[in-house]
Amino acid sequence: MMTRRALLLGLGACMAIAAAYAAKEPPISTPVIAADNSPAAVAAAKEIRMANARRDIAAGRLRIVFLSETSEIHGPLGHFDRETGYPHYPIAACEATEAFLAEVEAYNEAMRKWHAEQKPSASDHR
């Protein structure tokens, strides 16, 4: 018979694994999928990714999409965004379309805007 402590420990471990898996959910689809680059498609892509950014912010998944030729981060930019301090989420974008780039820009813009709104203003220090 399983003790209550062992059951709670097992449940906690499952929740931690589920949370870690959810954090790996990509914020943006791969650029190969977005073939329509019409103005309407670009506008729709922006709206969808801004909604995804708001969802990620609400869930505490603060990150900046980082485009690279591979899905790994190399070079001087590092693993964190200099402006926000949020981790970079690398996405391979060697075939990036206009709609895909609009998605990335909208997602990152929403993350950076939220970050800027969280900073205390000078009047908050009085």
Q: What is the pLDDT along the chain (126 residues), one digit of tens a residue?
A: 456 665 556 555 545 444 444 455 666 655 545 567 788 888 888 888 888 899 999 999 999 988 876 655 555 556 888 899 999 888 877 777 888 888 889 999 999 999 999 977 555 554
**Torsion sign, CA atoms 79, 52, 92, 19:** positive
**Torsion sign, CA atoms 90, 113, 80, 17:** negative
122, 60 Cβ separation under 8 angstroms: no
Q: What is the pLDDT of residue 57?
A: 93
Tokens 């909604």 correspond to what residue?
51
Residue 39 placed within a domain = yes
Residue 41 placed within a domain = yes
Instruction: Specify burial of residue 99 (Cβ count, 10 A radius: 0-12, 13-18, 19+).
Output: buried
Residue 114 placed within a domain = yes
Domain with 74 in it: 27-119
Residue 10 placed within a domain = no
What is the pTM assigned to this prediction? 0.66
Residue 103 placed within a domain = yes
**Structural domain count, the chain:** 1
Residue 2 placed within a domain = no
Tokens 């206009």 correspond to what residue?
98
Residue 104 placed within a domain = yes
Q: What is the pLDDT of residue 92?
A: 74
Q: Which helix (H) or strand (E) holds 22?
A: helix 4-23
